[in-house]
Chains A and B, each alone.
Chain A
Amino acid sequence: QQQVKQSPQSLIVQKGGIPIINCAYENTAFDYFPWYQQFPGKGPALLIAIRPDVSEKKEGRFTISFNKSAKQFSLHIMDSQPGDSATYFCAAGRNTDKLIFGTGTRLQVFP
Chain B
Amino acid sequence: GAGVSQSPSNKVTEKGKDVELRCDPISGHTALYWYRQSLGQGLEFLIYFQGNSAPDKSGLPSDRFSAERTGGSVSTLTIQRTQQEDSAVYLCASSLSHARSYEQYFGPGTRLTVT
A residues in contact (CB < 8 Å) with B: 6, 32, 34, 36, 41-46, 49, 89, 91, 93, 95-104
Q: A43-B91, A43-B108, A103-B41 are in contact. Are A97 and B48 (CB under 8 A)?
A: yes
Q: When the two chains form their complex, are residues B102 and A95 in contact, meaning their CB atoms are under 8 A apart?
A: yes
Query: Interface residue tally of chain B, by bracket?
Result: 20 to 34
Query: Does A99 lie within 8 Å of B45, measured CB to CB?
Result: yes
Q: Which of B33, B97, B103 contacts A49 (CB 8 A)?
A: B103
**A-B pairs with beta carbons under 8 Å apart, 30 shown:** A6-B42, A34-B102, A36-B106, A43-B4, A43-B91, A43-B106, A43-B107, A43-B108, A43-B109, A44-B91, A45-B106, A46-B103, A49-B103, A89-B43, A91-B43, A93-B102, A96-B31, A96-B95, A96-B97, A96-B98, A96-B102, A97-B48, A97-B56, A98-B59, A99-B33, A99-B45, A101-B35, A101-B42, A104-B41, A104-B42
Q: A6-B42, A101-B42 are in contact. List 16 more A-B contacts (CB 8 A).
A: A32-B102, A34-B102, A36-B106, A41-B108, A43-B107, A43-B108, A46-B105, A89-B43, A93-B102, A96-B95, A96-B97, A98-B48, A98-B59, A103-B41, A104-B41, A104-B42
Contact between chains at A46 and B42 (CB < 8 Å): no
Per-position contact with A for B7-39: 1 when CB-CB < 8 Å, else 0? 000000000000000000000000101010000
- Shortest distance from the beta carbon of B54 to any chain A beta carbon, whole Å: 14
Chain B interface residues toward A at CB < 8 A: 4, 31, 33, 35, 40-45, 48, 50, 56, 59, 91, 95, 97-98, 102-109
A9, chain B: closest CB distance, angstroms: 10
B56: chain A residues within 8 A (beta carbon): 97-98
